[in-house]
Amino acid sequence: MKIGKPFARARNRIAAITILAALTLGGNLLGLLLGAPPGLLPSLPLSIPIILASYWYPRRGTLFALGLAAVYAVTVFLLSPPDPLLPFTILPRAVFLVLVGGVVALLTTRLRESEQQMQDIIEFLPDATFAIDREGKVIAWNRAIEEMTGVKKEAVLNRGNYEHAIPFYGKRQPLLADKILQGEAGDRKILVSETTIPHFRDGNGAHIRFTAAPLLDANGNVAGAIESIRDVSDQVMMETALKNASHQLNTLAGILRTDLANRLAVLYGHLSVGVMKFDDPAVLSFIDDLHDAANGIRRQIEISRAFREIGRLPPAWMPVQETVRKAAVGLSFGSVSLETWTERLEVFADPHLETVFTHLLENALAPGIGASRIVVTYHLRPDGCAIVVEDDGTGIPYPEKEKLFVQREESFGHGLFLAHEILAITGITIRETGIPGEGAKFEILIPPGGYRFSETSQTVEDPQPGSHLVVRELRSPEFALANDVWRDYHGVTADPTRDRIFATFCGERIVSLARCRRHSDGSMEVDGVFTPEPCRGRGYSRMAVAALVVACHNDDLYMYAVESLAGFYAEFGFVSIPERDLPSPIRERYTWAAGNMEGAEIRPMHRRAGL
């Protein structure tokens, strides 16, 4: 009769423990019989069978240790000559042996409970999962993978030589978990691949996704790997069907757009002939109405063409300054100025973000709006970062605001429905908060995590190409240039994580600087307004401060102004305030003044948010 492996393993372990216990006790007994003093007999060898018994059989480990320690103590007491100090020699050794057994049994129990929990987690994962050790032997094979492959765990556990690959490929070959052990993952840590297994799904084939990750030991070294396998056939088929349907719908929509465009061209021709042929005012009015209706159809065709492209490309980090400038290309601004102060800002958005800004600029430039200035800035808030696009035109009436982002043909909100849909792809919202009569103000709110400030320079054109004097916000790599200019100015240094710095350039040389720093409480402090000695008296500081005020106008601005320059800052809307009204982080920067601002010849000032 063949003996099972578990039974044979248990028998061998019991035999090993028994032999070691007999040898160590026998050694002590032989020493006593030969007359060796009890204090010189080593008890440490007795801990070896105790450790093994407690590790292999933790529930009985302490009991075994207690029994072996008792046998050891009784044997020594019986065979040793009478000695009053003998208990103080033997009992501590016996207690030590019991403690060794108890500690090893406790640690082993905890370890096995942890291992069992891990095994249970793997066992009941919904995805087919297996794990291998450092040698490539299978140490886990859960129920889901049994159902997927039809191979029971008993057939693969503790087997190496790529045994786990046979159910998938019918031969021994490395899977992703093996490649993890071979170091092919590199810095990625996780490997993912997809393939088709022809014999799965009753021979109909299945599209399978493999994902593998390393198992690390306490020192962070790879001790094994775990791999999960998911049948994504239904998902792939659905994606393929949707892609085919989308292609067919786009083809059909393209045919319809072309046909409608051709018919509109004919209609426009007839309308043109009608204007030339008839002179009756009623007929001409009727023709104008038809012309407006045709224009509405044409706009809907244009919007449907743009909708076709939305969502086809994955979202990406978009530099806002460059995107706004691209959107402005091709638009007729006339006497309307465009100021964009978003130099380092990047947002995670659909690549059609340019279309959003194109529609916002078109609305500001529309006839009848009367705008002379468009400003694009950003404003950091607890709920994210708002890109603010505002103009000084007639604004949008309150009744129209609620319908701005609904698809319709009226003059207000043309194209904003499309802009809203593009932004919504990445969870960005848009709203209009302007005051009618004072201008429109669109706020594009990017949620936390959806925006960042680039640490690299963006390749964009100068805001004032060909101009000798240029005022713009510094990019992160240019902060070192500001430090050079500030070198002899109160030790001011730039911090890209908190500062916005605005510079007046004369050619490639910085001739004036102004800084706005955001403190931990969100308050904004203006400082670092400085013009090198050779460049003073030419209005360069005025240009830098004006740029700062416009770019940061969505926040309240605070500053400590030199008394003699208080009038200069008043021109930009700053007013004097008591020192106690300054935010505490700003006051704390000037503790050297001991709170006596009159004696320090410095005046606290404040500018309320707004243009």
Helix/strand/coil (H, E, C) string of 367-389? CCCCCCEEEEEEEEECCEEEEEE
Provide CB contacts within 8 A for 154, sequence distance 6+.
none
Q: Specify the pLDDT at position 465.
A: 46
Q: Up-side HSE of residue 324: CA atoms within 13 Å toward CB?
A: 23
What confidence score (pLDDT) does residue 215 get?
86
CA distance 492 to 102: 65
Nearest Cα to Cα of residue 43 among 59, 28, 60: 28
pLDDT for residue 546: 95
pLDDT digits (tens, 9 = 90+) for 22-58: 887 777 777 666 666 655 556 667 778 888 888 888 8
Which two three-digit tokens encode residue 272?
Answer: 């043109």
pLDDT score for 346: 94
Angle between helices 58-79 and 86-123 (to 10 degrees): 170
Confidence at residue 187, expressed as pLDDT on a 0 to 100 scale: 64
Residue 141 near residue 158, CB atoms below 8 Å: no
Close Cβ partners of 447 (under 8 Å, ≥ 6 residues apart): 383, 384, 427, 428
Residue type present at position 24:
T
pLDDT for 463:
45
For 57-113, what is each residue's pLDDT tens digit?
888 888 888 887 888 778 777 777 676 766 777 788 778 888 888 888 888 888 887
Q: Using CA atoms, how far apart are residues 34 and 355, in angstroms rounded to an integer? A: 100
Class of residue 515 by CB neighbours under 10 A (exposed 0-12, middle 13-18, buried 19+): buried
pLDDT of residue 459: 46
The rounded radius of gyration (Å) of the Cα atoms in the chain is: 40
DSSP label at residue 86:
H
DSSP state of 488: T
Cα 58 to Cα 60: distance, rounded to the nearest angstrom: 5
Q: Are 394 and 369 in contact (CB under 8 A)?
A: yes
**Strands ordered across the beta sheet of 337-340:** 337-340, 373-381, 384-391, 441-446, 429-432
SS3 401: helix
Picking from 327, 328, 315, the residue whose alpha carbon sits closest to that of residue 423 is: 315
Distance CA 99, CA 119 (A): 30
pLDDT of residue 336: 92
Report CA 561 to chain centroid distance, whole Å.
40
Q: Which of 160, 158, 157, 161 is nearest to 145 (CA)?
A: 157
Separation of alpha carbons 30 and 176, rounded Å: 58
pLDDT at 305: 64
Among 386, 324, 330, which residue's Cα sits nearest to residue 356? 324
Please give the pLDDT value at position 413: 46
User: Which residue, among 289, 465, 334, 318, has the nearest Cα to 387 in the 3D structure?
Assistant: 318
DSSP state of 434: P
Q: What is the DSSP string of 231-277?
A: E-HHHHHHHHHHHHHHHHHHHHHHHHHHHHHHHHHHHHHHHHHHHHH
| pLDDT at position 36 | 60
Phi, psi of 518 (to 5 degrees): -95, 125
What is the rounded CA–CA span in Å between residue 451 and residue 348?
6
Burial of residue 327 (CB within 10 Å: 0-12, 13-18, 19+) is: buried
User: Rounded CA gap, 505 and 154, in Å?
Assistant: 76
Task: Write down the pLDDT at residue 474.
Answer: 92
The ranges of the chain with pLDDT < 70 are 1-6, 31-44, 81, 83, 85-86, 186-188, 242, 245-254, 256, 296, 299-300, 302-312, 407-415, 456-467, 591-600
pTM, two decimal places: 0.56
- The one-character DSSP state at 215 is E
Q: Residue 471 pairs with which residues in a beta bridge?
A: 504
β 384-391/373-381 pair status:
antiparallel
